[in-house]
Copies of this chain bind each other. A is one copy, B any other.
């Protein structure tokens, strides 16, 4: 794989939604998202791939099978061996990822999987490969939850994990609903909802993604295969008190939710450290947010993840009891509401082992990050490839991968598609 070919295609995407500080604002159904969608359609058209958008706004570019599949008794279909689930002889092999970013995120998280998919198709065509199953490239909508708060929104809608009425009513920080944002972008929110027929047509989903961590730094292999996704969730924590004058209200008379919130930030970290998981408060909103007024409400989002569900539950219950006790002392209220909870995802073990072997013994790694692959894995044999990220930085502009490693990722993805679909 030619690193120049990677760089040429990558350069086309790089300016879209980038801020002067180098981070990205690529939120679903915004102008930058619409530009990315147009780019996707243009790439599909250039390659003669059939483009479609599903009922949930997810995009696909299809390389249809060259001819009706003929079962060759001397060469069993690989997927039949790869999974204990019911074989889907006619099913497609789907790859891809997402375009959207967290606020001021990096360039690779998401788009690398889409760019690599187009280049893998180019690679297979250069060797005149003939797909015996359809090969699809997917761009899922709102994977990060960066605009409407629910991560993997496109794949959750498709699989029915989130109710379509609830999804339509989700609001962005400006109070715009998903339904309105879709209409403003020329899309139809009425069609949102589960899409079991589409899932049924898939034989496998392979998501290539930049590594989020530094496990491959110093490794011989620039590409790893995922074992599992840690169970994780987001909880909205609302601290309520009483707005009052910051100068004239005596300390004992205050019901200041900022104090309870501050305690909660430190408590989350401590509980996660003791239990062996991670917990983060990265998003906060304060009302009225005035320098000289005690806050009336502080809303914070807790992100917590752990190697298994028992540890995650331990973090949450410790957090809740400590914060509730503190709220009692502060005279404030606290309400904890889950926004998303994702159980552990163990990727298809036989598919994972087959891919690791195919790639010459690639390392296998768990990840603490959620992905559309995790959502789809409940319905479709699913695997993930990770491309080395030497700094380990993720969800920030410092995220990076070398062109050489990205090209190696394309080679690996092409090998997997060749094995599964050609």
Interface residues of A (CB under 8 A from B): 23, 102-105, 144-146, 149, 151, 212-213, 230, 232, 234, 242-251, 253, 256, 258-259, 261-266, 269, 272-273, 278, 280-284, 286-296, 301, 303, 305, 339, 367-370, 392-398
Contact = CB atoms under 8 A, between A and B. Distances in A.
A103 B278 contact: no
A364 B148 CA distance: 53
B278 A289 contact: no
In this complex, which of A242, A244, A248, A269 has the most chain B Cβ atoms within 10 angstroms of its Cβ? A248
Contacts of A246: 278, 280, 282, 303, 305, 395
Contacts of A370: 247
Q: When A and B form their complex, which 4 residue pairs have the shortest distance between CB atoms, in order from nearest?
A: A245-B394, A243-B396, A212-B248, A262-B265
B232 A247 contact: yes
Copies in the complex: 2
A396 B293 contact: yes
B291 A269 contact: no
Given A242-B396, A258-B281, A396-B242, A248 B367 contact: yes
A289 B248 CA distance: 31
A281 to B, nearest CB: 5
A397 B251 CA distance: 20
Q: Which of A103, A247, A287, A397 has the most CB of B within 10 A?
A: A247
A291 to B, nearest CB: 4
Contact of A303 (B145, B263, B291, B367): B291
A244 B395 contact: yes
A266 B144 CA distance: 32
A212 B368 contact: no
A250 B23 CA distance: 22
A145 B258 contact: no
Most buried by B among A281, A339, A397: A281
Given A247-B305, A262-B266, A149 B105 contact: no
A345 B300 CA distance: 38
B393 A244 contact: yes
Most chain B beta-carbon contacts within 10 A, residue among A151, A278, A369 = A278
B283 A289 contact: yes
8 contacts: A102-B288, A103-B288, A243-B397, A263-B266, A283-B291, A284-B284, A294-B395, A294-B396
